[in-house]
């Protein structure tokens, strides 16, 4: 997990007792550290009522759908089901758990996936079991997945096939199960993200190997392990569940102290002419040759058409750790969209709808920017947006000092 950041410098949001005033609408300005004192007479909706996490997330998701041109009526009932364990949590209170999904430990992250010549796809990832009790978190998450299966949104067959590997009775690690929903062409699709270290970090590789073998991708593991030998190793194991044209199995690997050339080399696990574009993308988003703060993350995806090697590769660049503020992060995301001939106006609309704060008043709203190659589709650029339900990280006044430490960090791990 990433450490919490210090509060913003003294300014108009400062209260007499030295704490930061919680803003009327989360995401609109700096607030106190969740471990510190929190004023209980704010965190209210525009009508003056106490704001709940579910209301906050639904408002942001509606704004994302509007920016993408997706009907809200499709999204709302599924979001109600997915958010049911979380929806009544008050934003007057500190986060009830140290969720890895977002820097402020919000259990939600949003994203827009952009493909040239097509409308962007809105997506939301959440941690239904928002508790530090990982066994209970896994049970809650699986229960939500099963309720969505009852609605015909997904099938839990592959999840049940792997439950002993990823959802044991006494799990290890910082999370158990995340759930993601996306809405391409008006059709809901679902994914789950599981923890390779559920039986302990020393068994992550064995867990991934066994899971791939059970799903018919055992031959892919030796090549995949070559890219997880550096510190950080396997981060996430993900499954497409439900109505997907070609359901994927995805494995995420963290790369500490990686360069653009290293990222290009990792992408060669998937055949194709994309490595040069991958290296260029690192420079475009991070503006550094070697990333020594929050690490790059590779996602290797597998389908039945290509069971022994990746059929898709995504590189996640943690832009928030390589910029001073979200205005700079937005500009880099826009540059990436334009590089691939993609209209950036939906991103501008999404940012305006998700937060009311100035982009230069914080950093971390734009968490990751990702480039995906999956033949025969054109390259896809995805921009991940933090909910900022509990806290806004203050902007940096200069580029952050490099260090070799830090965790891979909260992220929405789509792709």
Give residue 46's pLDDT: 53
Instruction: State mean pLDDT over 93-100.
Output: 96
Q: Which of 85, 79, 84, 52 is nearest to 64 (CA)?
A: 79
- Counting residues of the chain whose pLDDT is more than 70, the rounded percentage is 83
- Cα–Cα distance for residue pair 391/24, rounded to 1 Å: 12
Instruction: State mean pLDDT over 386-402.
Output: 82
Q: What is the pLDDT of residues 212-246, one digit of tens each?
A: 999 999 999 988 888 776 545 899 999 999 888 88
In a domain, 19, yes or no: no
Instruction: State mean pLDDT over 289-308.
Output: 92
Q: Which of 308, 317, 213 is nearest to 269 (CA)?
A: 308
Give residue 138's pLDDT: 98
Where in the sequence is the domain holding 185, given as residue range(s)?
53-386
Give residue 414's pLDDT: 45
Q: In sequence order, which residues have a C-beta less than 8 Å from that of residue 202 and are 6 or more positions away?
A: none
Q: Which of 377, 392, 414, 385 is nearest to 65 (CA)?
A: 385
- Crossing angle of helices 260-267 and 275-286, in 10° steps, is 140
391 pLDDT more than 80: yes
- Crossing angle of helices 72-83 and 53-68, in 10° steps, is 150
Q: In sequence order, which residues have a C-beta less than 8 Å from that of residue 6 and are 6 or more positions away?
A: 33, 394
In a domain, 136, yes or no: yes
Q: In sequence order, which residues have a C-beta less than 8 Å from that of residue 164 and are 6 or more positions away?
A: none
Instruction: State mean pLDDT over 199-215.
Output: 95
Lowest mean pLDDT among 80-94, 126-140, 220-234, 258-272: 220-234
13 pLDDT more than 60: no
Instruction: Give the chain's domain count.
Output: 1
Cβ–Cβ < 8 Å for 111, 185: no
| Residue 61 main-chain phi, psi, to 5 deg | -65, -40
In a domain, 399, yes or no: no
Burial category of 404 from C-beta neighbours within 10 Å (exposed 0-12, middle 13-18, buried 19 and up): exposed
- Counting residues of the chain whose pLDDT is more than 90, the rounded percentage is 71
- Cα–Cα distance for residue pair 88/299, rounded to 1 Å: 34
In a domain, 4, yes or no: no
Give residue 47's pLDDT: 55
Query: What percentage of the chain's residues is helix, strand, coil (to nearest 5)?
Result: 30, 20, 50
In a domain, 16, yes or no: no
In a domain, 12, yes or no: no
Q: In sequence order, which residues have a C-beta less than 8 Å from that of residue 237 and are 6 or more positions away?
A: 166, 193, 194, 195, 196, 207, 208, 211, 249, 250, 251, 252
Instruction: State mean pLDDT over 258-271.
Output: 92
Q: How far, in Å, are 3, 41, 370 from residue 375 at the CA level?
A: 38, 53, 16
Element (H, E) at 224: helix 221-226
Task: Label residue 72 by pLDDT band (50, 70, 90).
Answer: confident
Q: What is the pLDDT of residues 347-389, one digit of tens each?
A: 999 999 999 999 999 999 999 999 999 988 999 999 999 999 9
In a domain, 407, yes or no: no
- Cα–Cα distance for residue pair 184/119, rounded to 1 Å: 9
In a domain, 403, yes or no: no
- Cα–Cα distance for residue pair 410/116, rounded to 1 Å: 27
Q: What is the mean pLDDT of the chain?
A: 85
Cβ–Cβ < 8 Å for 141, 210: no
101 pLDDT more than 60: yes
The pTM is what?
0.86
DSSP 5-44: PPPPPSSTTB-TTSPBPPPSSTTSS----TTS---SS--B
Give residue 186's pLDDT: 74
Give residue 48's pLDDT: 54
Cβ–Cβ < 8 Å for 353, 60: yes
Burial category of 1 from C-beta neighbours within 10 Å (exposed 0-12, middle 13-18, buried 19 and up): middle
403 pLDDT more than 80: no
Q: What is the pLDDT of residues 40-55, one digit of tens each?
A: 234 555 555 679 999 9
- Cα–Cα distance for residue pair 178/127, rounded to 1 Å: 5
């Amino acid at each position: 997990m990433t450490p919490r950041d210090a509060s913003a410098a003294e300014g108009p949001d400062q209260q007499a007792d030295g704490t930061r005033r919680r803003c009327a609408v989360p995401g609109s300005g700096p607030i106190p550290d969740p471990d510190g004192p929190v004023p209980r007479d704010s965190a209210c909706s525009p009508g003056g009522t106490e704001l709940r996490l579910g209301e906050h997330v639904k408002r942001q998701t509606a704004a994302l759908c509007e920016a993408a041109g997706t009907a809200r009526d499709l999204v709302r009932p599924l979001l109600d089901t997915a958010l049911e364990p979380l929806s009544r949590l008050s934003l007057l209170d500190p986060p009830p758990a140290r969720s890895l999904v977002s820097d402020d430990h919000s259990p939600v992250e949003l994203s827009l996936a952009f493909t040239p010549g097509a409308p962007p796809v809105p997506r939301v990832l959440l941690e239904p079991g928002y508790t530090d009790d990982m066994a209970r978190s896994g049970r809650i998450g699986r229960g939500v997945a099963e309720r969505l299966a009852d609605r015909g949104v997904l099938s839990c067959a592959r999840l049940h096939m792997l439950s002993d590997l990823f959802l044991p009775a006494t799990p290890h690690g910082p999370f158990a199960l995340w759930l993601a929903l996306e809405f391409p062409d008006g059709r809901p699709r679902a994914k789950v993200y599981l923890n390779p270290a559920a039986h302990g970090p020393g068994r992550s590789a064995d867990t991934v190997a066994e899971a791939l073998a059970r799903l018919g991708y055992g031959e892919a593991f030796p090549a995949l392990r070559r890219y997880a030998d550096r510190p950080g190793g396997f981060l996430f194991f993900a499954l497409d569940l439900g109505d997907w044209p070609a359901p994927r199995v995805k494995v995420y690997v963290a790369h500490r102290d990686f360069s653009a050339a290293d990222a290009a080399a990792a992408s060669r696990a998937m055949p194709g002419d994309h490595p040069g574009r991958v290296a260029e993308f690192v420079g475009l988003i991070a503006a550094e040759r070697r990333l020594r703060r929050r690490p790059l993350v590779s996602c290797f995806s597998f389908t039945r058409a290509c069971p022994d090697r990746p059929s898709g590769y995504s590189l996640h660049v943690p832009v928030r750790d390589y910029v001073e503020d979200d205005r700079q992060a937005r500009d880099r995301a826009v540059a990436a969209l334009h590089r691939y001939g993609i209209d950036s106006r939906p991103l501008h609309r999404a940012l305006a709808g998700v937060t009311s704060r100035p982009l230069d008043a914080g950093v971390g709203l734009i968490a990751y920017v990702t480039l995906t190659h999956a033949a025969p589709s054109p390259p896809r650029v995805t921009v991940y947006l933090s909910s900022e339900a509990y806290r806004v990280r203050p902007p940096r006044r200069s580029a952050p000092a490099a260090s070799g430490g830090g965790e891979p960090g909260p992220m929405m791990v789509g792709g």
